[in-house]
């Protein structure tokens, strides 16, 4: 595809449930990033992958959050035991290599009731 | 800890006006700075990327400048149009880190 895609575009879940958010980066991009954006705020970094490995996961808020990228392309952000405070837009970005321009997907809006 | 501030938080101008959006950052040890546009309910569109060794970048009616030593960047939009209405975000990449640190954005409204 031409750009970064994310599915689903919207996800509504109940408190305590498990959710998975998917990101398909631009073909050939080795770097993949996850950010979270709350209303009225700028995006906040969660985790960064270079290839298959998580090079920096310092932004993950707690151990309920986990992300994988098993084949170095598609990534899944997993949230266990969701809480209302997890409600936000989750953005994925990809880039060619270190310190290059980051290209963002449309985001997944997560609502935890 | 790097902090990015954008002023003003909101700006409303008549069509055709030239305008400047400001971005400041507290730690000058950045690798690059990126300006983005975000339309309501949408993701981010990259507008300009300035490497730390550069002073400015231009794309069409947009010009971004960077003064790394003073921790400032400006985005200049010439001859604004209603289609320019959006939130503009700036973000920096810290040296030694891949993550972007964002400001809260400036919400721009261009009135016809």
Q: State how far the Cα of B12 lies from the Cα of A90, in Å rounded to an integer.
A: 28
Does any CB of chain B come closer than 8 Å to the CB of residue A66? no
With contact defined as beta carbons under 8 Å apart, do B80 and B19 qualify?
Answer: yes
Q: Closest-CA residue in chain B for A88?
A: B41
Q: Which helix H or strand E contains A4, and what residues bound it?
A: none
CB contact under 8 A, A56 and B91: no
pLDDT at B96: 74
State which residue of chain A sits closest to B100, comparing Cα positions.
A45
Spatial neighbors of A93 by CB under 8 A, at least 6 apart, are A4, A32, A33, A35, A102, A103, A104, A105, B44
Task: Determine the distance from the C-alpha atom of residue A67 to the mean position of all C-alpha atoms in its chain, rounded to a whole number.
Answer: 8
Task: Note whether A113 contacts B: Cβ–Cβ < 8 A.
Answer: no
CA separation for the pair B16, B18 (Å, rounded) = 7
pLDDT (tens digit per residue) in B8-65? 999 999 999 999 999 999 999 999 999 999 998 888 999 999 999 999 999 999 999 9
pLDDT tens column, B80-111: 999 999 999 999 998 777 889 999 999 999 99
Q: B102 CB near a chain A CB, below 8 Å? A: yes
Give the per-residue pLDDT at B73.
97
CB contact under 8 A, B98 and A48: yes
The pLDDT, as a whole number, for residue A99 is: 65
Quote the pLDDT of residue A69. Answer: 95
β-bridge partners, B79: none
Rounded Cα distance between B95 and B105, Å, is 22
Chain A residues inside the 8 Å CB shell of B89: 42-43
Give Cβ neighbours of residue A79 (< 8 Å, ≥ 6 apart).
A18, A19, A20, A21, A64, A65, A66, A86, A110
SS3 at position A106: coil
Q: Name the DSSP letter for residue A96.
A: S
Confidence (pLDDT) at A98: 64
Helix, strand, or coil (residue B10)? strand
**pLDDT in the model for residue B105:** 97
pLDDT along chain A (113 residues), means of 10: 90 98 94 94 94 90 96 96 97 84 94 97
Residue A84, min C-alpha distance to chain B (Å)? 20
């Amino acid at each position: 595809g031409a750009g970064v895609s994310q599915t689903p575009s919207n996800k509504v879940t109940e408190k305590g449930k498990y959710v998975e958010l998917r990101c398909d980066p631009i073909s050939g991009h080795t770097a993949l990033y996850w950010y979270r954006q709350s209303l009225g705020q700028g995006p906040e970094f969660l985790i960064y992958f270079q290839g298959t490995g998580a090079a920096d996961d310092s932004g993950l808020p707690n151990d309920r959050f986990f992300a994988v990228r098993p084949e170095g392309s598609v990534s899944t952000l997993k949230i266990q035991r969701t809480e209302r405070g997890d409600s936000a837009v989750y953005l994925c970005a990809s880039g060619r290599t270190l310190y290059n321009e980051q290209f963002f997907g449309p985001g997944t809006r997560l609502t935890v009731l | 800890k790097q902090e990015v501030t954008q002023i003003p938080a909101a700006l409303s101008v008549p069509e055709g006006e030239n305008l400047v959006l400001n971005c400041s950052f507290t730690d000058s040890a950045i690798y690059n700075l990126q300006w983005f546009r975000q339309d309501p309910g949408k993701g981010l569109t990259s507008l300009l990327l300035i490497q730390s060794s550069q002073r400015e970048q231009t794309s069409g009616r947009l010009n971004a400048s960077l003064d790394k030593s003073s921790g400032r960047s400006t985005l200049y939009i010439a001859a604004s149009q209603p289609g320019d209405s959006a939130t503009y975000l700036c973000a920096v990449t810290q040296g030694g880190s891949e993550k972007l640190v964002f400001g809260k954005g400036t919400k721009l409204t261009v009135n016809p």
